[in-house]
Structure 1
Amino acid sequence: MISSNQTRQLLDIDKILKFYSKHVRSEIGRKYVENIKPLSNIETLREGQALYREFERYIDIKGDFPWDDRIVLVNDFLNEGKSRGILFGEELLPFRYLLGLTVRIKELSFNLAREGYERVAQRAREFADFGEEVVSLSVLDDDGRLYDSASSKLAEIRGNLAAAKRQARAIGQKILSDQSLTSKLQDQVITLRNDRYVVLVKKESAPSFPGVFVDYSSSGNSVYMEPNALVAINNKIAMLREDERQEERRILQKLTEMLLAREKAILRAQDLIGQFDLLWGIYYFLQSHDWILPEIEQKSGFYLTCARHPLLGPQAVPIDVHCGRNFRALVITGPNTGGKTVALKTVGLCVYLAWCGLPIPAKEGSRIGQFSHLEADIGDEQSIEQNLSTFSGHVKRIIEMLEIADEASLFLIDELGAGTDPDEGAALGIAILETFLKHNSLVLATTHHNPIKRYALTTPNVETASVDFDPETLLPKYKLLLGVPGR
């Protein structure tokens, strides 16, 4: 099913998707929900529902599914790797967590298939094989630092560096024990300053101390001096540290190149993780919300029982509404603020969410059918950039709908024929309905025009509905009454 971004915005889909986002476990899942679109065909939709049912059964029995709370989106890291040519340890860790999780899920696929979860197993098998990458990334510890075993050369360098540091400390202890220097020292401690082993010397003794000035202390009353006896070993340590940095950089560059070479497979794996996270989120969403996965029908149409608009919260009045079986157009009438537009939006969001494979705010028994397009024209939107009036903006939108209209299209039109002379608007509204009916499209429209109401009452394939109100208080009840024209 195809639906434009304008319709997505008019139906507040992005706001409603946040209901699901609260129940996924990662930013990968949240991003997947944020970017979700209607599926392309009814077979894919049915398969998606069947996949969820299997996953639901698995969680009911097993209680959990492989996961790692440390996973995050890796897109920015991949871009950094391409830009800089290197990712550092803490930037490589997210790949270790992500790919490690994919390996665990993929390894589970055999047992999943054997135990009767073939669809879940098939989705798990879609992960590329990242076994070698996970092994390669195991050279990093949990802080992103390379283990000594990351390469034989790194192990050798670090071994020599550790020996040089021990030698420096031994030389330093001899200096601290030298009676000729003891009176010049501020403290009996060997310390590091600017990555070199130094001692703290009294300021007045610095000119006569056998060594090189490095820095003042924080108080300024003493100075850090590098004793002459430590210069050679400090130089050796500095050279070994540089060798270590170069070897670490070589290893990190190699790991970065390895990941960039598999960028497409990694992003696909991230997308699959998002799908599994959404399955998990739907499972727990349905535990706490009175929503359902609707039945899917081959015929174009819908049948919604106790459908509610979720953004209205607990005060939302459920509506029963259907279209497609006995009639192809439903004209809703009634007073302003009575719930006509809410009814349109409720139908639209239920169809949209269902075609995304998501639960809808309705009761069991609700059905959603085959749709090629879902488009809406709701509210008083104007195309300011094109300098169109409200009426012209609506006409432009209707023309766009007519260009794609077919027997599987669903169109939602608010205030049909409004924005111009009432007689002309009513005539135009009737002409628009007749044109959609010639295409056998499904249309839900609201209107105030009496001629359109009469047309709906007397025309085959068109049904009327109204929003109920209290005749004594004249306050709306927000209930939708099918087959009853509004006053």
Structure 2
Amino acid sequence: MQKRALKVLEYDKVIEQLSQHVSSSLGREKATNLMPSSSYEDVMRWQLETDEAAKVLRLKGQFPLGGITDIRPHIKRASIGGMLSPNELLHIAGTVYASRQIKQFVEEMVDAEIDIPIIEEYADQLNPPSQLEQNINHCIDEYGGVMDGASDKLRSIRQQLRTAESRIREKLESMVRSSQATKMLSDAIITIRNDRYVLPVKQEYRSAYGGIVHDQSSSGATLFIEPQVIVDLNNTLQEARVREKQEIERILIELSEQVAEHVDVLRENVLLLTEFDFMFAKAAYAKKIKATKPKINNYGHIKVFKARHPLLEPKEVVPNDIEIGGEEFSTIVITGPNTGGKTVTLKTAGLFTLMAQAGLQIPAEDGSEMTVFDNVYADIGDEQSIEQSLSTFSSHMVNIVDILKQASSDSLVLFDELGAGTDPQEGAALAISILDEVHNRGARVIATTHYPELKAYGYNRDGVINASVEFDIESLRPTYRLLIGVPGRSNAFEISRRLGLGDHVINRAKGLIDTDTNTVENMIAALEDNRRKAEEELQEAETIRKQAEELHRELQQQIIELNENRNKLLEKAEKKAKNAVEEAQAEAESIIKELKRMRSHAQIKEHELIDARKRLESAAPTLSKKIPKSPSPAQQKRTLTAGDEVKVLSFNQKGHLIEKVNDREWQVQMGIMKMKVKEKDMEFISSPTPVETKPLAAVKGKQYHVSLELDLRGERYEDALLKVEKYIDDALLAGYPRVSIIHGKGTGALRKGVREYLEQHRSVKGIRYGEAGEGGTGVTIVEFK
């Protein structure tokens, strides 16, 4: 990439922000050296890496990167036989621990069927030497000290050290506590000089303790003396310290040799941990700037939605849609007032390209698309006033000449204030010629300009389109919105009028402008009016669409609530009915037991029998009866016959007429129940459909009736299954909702065969054993669909 382009597009500032999200110096080094790639395959893989890392952060909230350290110098020194310090060994152990944690974390995500193939590939390559980590942690504590348990010899030496120190302190403390100590010692304390225990003795009493003088105070009044009685003990202590140091060095050398044995593995792990740190730094940065993964193409098309420059304050930036390189145009010429946002738009397009080609996500909405260029060229200057000097123009022209030497059909070229800094006519002519040159090469070009001659440029060239940054005449402020397809107006006359300049002066100025310029300005004004009207109509249509969607959601919610309420009412009614039947069954069972008890006695008193009969009658469940509807005249005149389907109004249930009991009552079959019902409590529904007479029907006869029960007791297994098959077909033809099959308990073979057949039948909704009053496990109740 062109170094000037990287600088003027402020790519280095993006890298600086990215570096704030790394977890180690390894990741910082890789982030700092990140450069955009012109390889389509590299860019695609980098984007997938960042997207996978962003996916992990989105699902898990974090990734275990703690403990990673740049241990490359340590393992290099260990490989050549050097002795590593305790802290260096701790860094190695910490890095091995980080490798192990990452590997385990990724394996758990893969086991949870989270699709992260690139991260999984990196994690599979991690090979943390766990035994080395354990050995280091066994010998060195978290503060960098070698622990007693590192070896038996070290433990013994340190025990000797503690014993020697204890004996020295005991002797010195007895001296400090003696009656003479207050007079001879400057302070009643024990201190250390030259790694030996001493006492602070006054100058005049130096001979009282003998021994060795190790130091004196600045005034010379106090001498730090090692009393003669502890010289031998101090010597013993020093010898123990020397042995301790030698043992520690031996342990560190041994651990360093173990590190040397794993140099290749550790070096490979460091490279993989660097990739992980860098990958998740990119994902964390994307999360901070609310970026998304762009689609990457290799045919020069850029299309981003709601693009926001990542270096601007999120609350201040105005999102813009930017498109270039499609089938319609490959060059955009942006016009508009100063400080209107032209340069920001230019930089946003260029910086997004660099970020995307570096594997970074872009702060734009989902669905945005970026392409891969072989190079990005930019001529962007900060000075934009008409007072630019010749030297400034010359420097820009030198850069443009360099761009024209290298730009190709696979390049993105950005010109800011093209041709500015010289005579307007010459500058405009140069700008047009330069644009023609890079446009004809097939490069993607975005240029900003003030020259009015370029406002009509897009109308005279295929593949070129005008654009502008919107300016609010009412507030005299730019809105920073990019309008593709509409060239910018100068707005000088409107701004002057708003600021109070007289109309006669403005009209005279308009008269001095040539006809072509007026025509272009009027055309631009018409375009702006049409665009504004189109936006208003679009906004109105969008409002209507949202209202329709809201109404649709409300209706859906109402339907859902209605269905839920209906289901709740049905469940409540079914539960109430079930409880009533269960209570009635329990009461009936109690009455039956009572009757059996009475029968066992020789004599039954009349009043006891009457009382039991009343209890049996009251055990029937009482259901709330609705007021029956008055039958229609047609129904009143209808003559009911056996087999008719009727509705029993008091129970709100359908049934079939079996036979007439008397002039006012019929025996009605409702499900598995038969009961007498008064004719006025029934409502006719339909008569049975006449069936074409067949030989089988003739054999059965007119009075043939399908029972609600099938008794299989005593039947052979094969014959019983044939009977069940035929009985199920007859029951379905009769329209029964449920039937009972009595198979008895016995060995259970017949019961098992019957239930297996019923479970496979396509018309059976469900089966269950009978209740206590229905025969228990000796009966199977069958419900049809």
CA distance in 1, matches of 2:108, 2:73: 34
CA distance in 1, matches of 2:477, 2:57: 47
Partner-residue secondary structure (3-state), 2:312: helix
Within-5 A mapping of 1:406-485 = 406-471=408-473, 474-485=476-487
Identity of aligned residues (%): 36
Q: Which residue of 2 aligns with 1:385?
A: none
Deviation at 1:176, TM superposition (A): 6.2
Partner-residue secondary structure (3-state), 2:311: helix
Higher relative contact order (CA 8 A, sep 6+): 1
Matched, 1:140 2:140: yes
Q: Which residue of 1 aligns with 2:291?
A: 291
Report if aligned partners of 2:22, 2:278 keep a CA contact under 8 Å in 1: no
Q: Which residue of 1 aligns with 2:488?
A: 486
Aligned length: 475
Matched, 1:268 2:267: no
Partner-residue secondary structure (3-state), 1:67: coil
Deviation at 1:399, TM superposition (A): 3.6
Letter of the 1:274 counterpart: D
CA distance in 1, matches of 2:40, 2:465: 27
Q: CA RMSD in A?
A: 3.8
CA distance in 2, matches of 1:50, 1:44: 10
Partner deviation per Cα, 1:395-442 (whole Å, 9 max, x = no partner): 332343344433322111112223344444333333332332333111
TM-score in terms of structure 2 length: 0.53
CA distance in 1, matches of 2:316, 2:176: 80
CA distance in 2, matches of 1:337, 1:226: 81
Letter of the 2:101 counterpart: R
Within-5 A mapping of 1:98-247 = 98-116=95-113, 117-127=116-126, 129-131=128-130, 133-138=132-137, 139-150=139-150, 154-169=154-169, 172=172, 184=184, 190-216=190-216, 222-247=222-247
Partner deviation per Cα, 1:374-396 (whole Å, 9 max, x = no partner): 22221159xxxxxx933333233
Are residues 256 and 459 of structure 1, via their aligned partners in 2, closer, same or farther at CA, if it must alter by over 3 Å? farther
CA distance in 2, matches of 1:189, 1:473: 82
Q: Which residue of 2 aligns with 1:392?
A: 394
Are residues 334 and 266 of structure 1, via their aligned partners in 2, closer, same or farther at CA, if it must alter by over 3 Å? same
Report if aligned partners of 2:38, 2:375 keep a CA contact under 8 Å in 1: no
Letter of the 1:378 counterpart: I
Matched, 1:278 2:281: yes
Where structure 2 has 5 or more consecutive residues not aligned to the other structure, the ranges are: 384-389, 490-785
CA distance in 2, matches of 1:431, 1:152: 86
CA distance in 2, matches of 1:393, 1:81: 54
Letter of the 1:419 counterpart: G
Deviating more after overlay: 166-175 vs 455-464: 166-175
Letter of the 1:317 counterpart: V
Partner deviation per Cα, 1:141-163 (whole Å, 9 max, x = no partner): 11111223445654454344334
Report if aligned partners of 2:50, 2:280 keep a CA contact under 8 Å in 1: no
Report if aligned partners of 2:340, 2:469 keep a CA contact under 8 Å in 1: yes
Matched, 1:316 2:322: no
Q: Which residue of 2 aligns with 1:67?
A: 65
Report if aligned partners of 1:128, 1:269 keep a CA contact under 8 Å in 2: no
Report if aligned partners of 2:24, 2:68 keep a CA contact under 8 Å in 1: yes
Report if aligned partners of 2:413, 2:445 keep a CA contact under 8 Å in 1: yes
CA distance in 2, matches of 1:55, 1:194: 56
CA distance in 1, matches of 2:330, 2:49: 32
CA distance in 1, matches of 2:402, 2:128: 46
Deviation at 1:74, TM superposition (A): 5.7
Report if aligned partners of 1:302, 1:322 keep a CA contact under 8 Å in 2: yes
CA distance in 2, matches of 1:328, 1:284: 32
Partner deviation per Cα, 1:16-72 (whole Å, 9 max, x = no partner): 44555555555655555444332453333333343444444444444443232x555
Letter of the 2:381 counterpart: G
CA distance in 2, matches of 1:403, 1:413: 15
Between Structure 1 and Structure 2, whose CA radius of gyration is higher?
A: 2
CA distance in 1, matches of 2:134, 2:351: 45
Matched, 1:340 2:311: no
Are residues 337 and 180 of structure 1, via their aligned partners in 2, closer, same or farther at CA, if it must alter by over 3 Å? closer
Report if aligned partners of 1:140, 1:147 keep a CA contact under 8 Å in 2: yes
Are residues 24 and 268 of structure 1, via their aligned partners in 2, closer, same or farther at CA, if it must alter by over 3 Å? closer
Matched, 1:353 2:355: yes
Deviation at 1:114, TM superposition (A): 3.6
CA distance in 2, matches of 1:253, 1:7: 52
Report if aligned partners of 1:331, 1:446 keep a CA contact under 8 Å in 2: yes
Report if aligned partners of 1:380, 1:390 keep a CA contact under 8 Å in 2: no
CA distance in 2, matches of 1:246, 1:413: 70
Partner deviation per Cα, 1:208-243 (whole Å, 9 max, x = no partner): 323222233688654332122222231232233234
Are residues 193 and 477 of structure 1, via their aligned partners in 2, closer, same or farther at CA, if it must alter by over 3 Å? same
Letter of the 1:346 counterpart: T
Where structure 1 has 5 or more consecutive residues not aligned to the other structure, the ranges are: 382-387
Matched, 1:97 2:98: no
CA distance in 1, matches of 2:459, 2:300: 23
CA distance in 1, matches of 2:123, 2:469: 48
CA distance in 1, matches of 2:74, 2:172: 44
Partner-residue secondary structure (3-state), 1:365: coil
Are residues 108 and 193 of structure 1, via their aligned partners in 2, closer, same or farther at CA, if it must alter by over 3 Å? same
Q: Which residue of 2 aligns with 1:370?
A: 372
Deviating more after overlay: 424-433 vs 179-188: 179-188
Deviating more after overlay: 172-181 vs 308-317: 172-181
Letter of the 1:38 counterpart: P
Report if aligned partners of 1:127, 1:272 keep a CA contact under 8 Å in 2: no
Deviation at 1:186, TM superposition (A): 5.9
Q: Which residue of 2 aligns with 1:7?
A: 5
CA distance in 2, matches of 1:352, 1:112: 32
Partner-residue secondary structure (3-state), 2:456: helix
Deviation at 1:80, TM superposition (A): 10
Q: Which residue of 1 aligns with 2:645?
A: none
CA distance in 1, matches of 2:85, 2:451: 67
Are residues 452 and 176 of structure 1, via their aligned partners in 2, closer, same or farther at CA, if it must alter by over 3 Å? closer
